[in-house]
Amino acid sequence: MTGNRKKKIRWEKAFEAAIDNYEKILALDSKVLEDRDELVKTNKELEGFEKKKAYIDKIDLFGWQAKYYETDLEDRVPRVPFRLKNNEDSPNYS
């Protein structure tokens, strides 16, 4: 698998597609160590990504209001103040 394709898969977070591709390559030639290493890396990235996603699902966004404010330099400045609430005691996504 070319370097650009690897970067594109990681950038798009298409972990399942990457794992499928690596498994197909390994099935053809089990001596391809580089692809085996990439499969391990992608699996680890997928686990980390899923932990972060689960943590983000536990955060509430509230109290947001879109307004224009006056400043010393400008009359109408758009601003969106908001608050976040963490519904989990300790983040566990390392």
In tens, the pLDDT along 34-92 reads 677 778 888 888 888 888 888 888 888 898 899 998 988 888 999 999 998 888 766 55
Model pTM?
0.44
pLDDT score recorded for residue 38: 79
Token pair, residue 86, equals 């963490």
Q: What CA–CA distance (Å, rounded) separates 84 from 30? A: 48
pLDDT tier at 10, thresholds 50, 70, 90: low
Q: Residue 18 in contact with residue 9, Cβ under 8 Å?
A: yes
